Amino acid sequence: MSVKKFVVGCFDDEKTLFPAVKNTRKAGYKIHDVYTPFPIHGLDHAMGLRDTSLHTAGFIYAMTGTTTALTFMSWVFTKDWPLNIGGKPHLPLPAFIPIVFELTVLCAAVGMVLTFCYLCQLAPFVTKDHFHLRATDDLFVMPIEVTDKTNVEEVKAFFQNAGAVEVFEKEAETGWWLGRYDKAKKAFEKEEIVTA
């Protein structure tokens, strides 16, 4: 958990957002993140983010499900308790297909969702600091981190030129803490007092 200072620029149209992102990177400012109310295709590439490999994880989970189901059922029917079911073979592979398939899908889906939640730090009671409440409504919010070398006024002017509809400074917690959104007191504010 660390509290940092940011200059925040808010945009209300993709048409101004994309050039702004491009120019910000060109000017050498470090974009902390861009918060948007819906997925904007191409923004990740414009920001220079690499592609996610979540689907690879999904494939691995799927294969885990497949092998678990196959080995378990084969072990039960050939080694642990070979039942004679109407004189049918002990290893009826075609009859295993439905359960193998279902377990493949189940493991892939559950595994991927849990991985997604872990990577994005999402869980019930996880609370985060938000730069702008309208970031989930109609604003595209781009904070730039303020370091010792940053000229705050320059960044603000830069945002205004880029077509931002709102520009402000804000101190924000970049991590997460356990809490509830209806509690006004933020966990990190208390810590600030202790360290100060």
Partner 1 sequence: MSLLRYESQVREPLVDGHKTYHDVTEDICKPVEAAPTRLWWIGFIISVALLLFGAVSLYKEVVYGTGMWNLNKTIGWGWDITNFVWWVGIGHAGTLISAILLLFRQGWRTGVNRAAEAMTIFAVICAGQFPIWHMGRVWMAFFVMPYPNTRGPLWVNFNSPLLWDVFAISTYFTVSLLFWYSGLIPDMATLRDRAKKKWAKAFYGVASFGWTGSTKHWQRHESLSLVLAGLSTPLVLSVHTIVSFDFATSVIPGWHTTIFPPYFVAGAIFSGFAMVQTLMLVTRKIMNLEDYITISHIENMNKVIVLTGSIVGCAYLTELFMAWYSAVKYEQDIFFKYRIAGPYGWSYWLMMTCNVITPQLFWSKKLRRNIAFTFLMSIVVNVGMWFERFVIIVSSLYRDYLPSSWSVYYRPTIWEVGFYLGSFGLFFTCYFLFSKYFPVIAIAEIKHILKKNGESYKEQMDGIEEQSVTEFAHEHAHAH
Binding region for partner 1 (CB under 8 A) = 14, 33-40, 43-44, 47, 49, 51-52, 54-55, 58, 62, 72-73, 76-77, 80-81, 83, 85, 88, 92, 95-96, 98-99, 101-103, 105-106, 108-110, 112-113, 116-117, 119-128, 130, 133-138, 141, 176, 180-182
Q: Considering beta carbons, is residue 149 or 180 the nearer one to partner 1? A: 180
Q: Considering beta carbons, is residue 80 or 154 the nearer one to partner 1? A: 80
Question: Rounded CA gap, 31 and 35, in Å?
Answer: 11
Query: Is the distance from CB of 65 to CB of 106 less than 8 angstroms?
Result: yes
Report in angstroms how near the CB of residue 183 gets to partner 1 at its nearest: 8
Q: What is the DSSP letter of 77?
A: I
Report in angstroms how near the CB of residue 14 gets to partner 1 at its nearest: 7
Q: Considering beta carbons, is residue 108 or 155 the nearer one to partner 1? A: 108
Kindly state the tokens that stand for 13. 């149209």
Q: Considering beta carbons, is residue 52 or 160 the nearer one to partner 1? A: 52
Strands (E), the chain: 3-11, 126-128, 140-145, 166-173, 176-178
Kindly state the tokens that stand for 82. 């070979």
Kindly state the tokens that stand for 135. 């970031």
Q: Considering beta carbons, is residue 47 or 167 the nearer one to partner 1? A: 47
Contacts of 169 (CB under 8 A, 6+ apart): 5, 6, 7, 8, 146, 152, 156
Report in angstroms how near the CB of residue 88 gets to partner 1 at its nearest: 7
Report in angstroms how near the CB of residue 19 gets to partner 1 at its nearest: 16
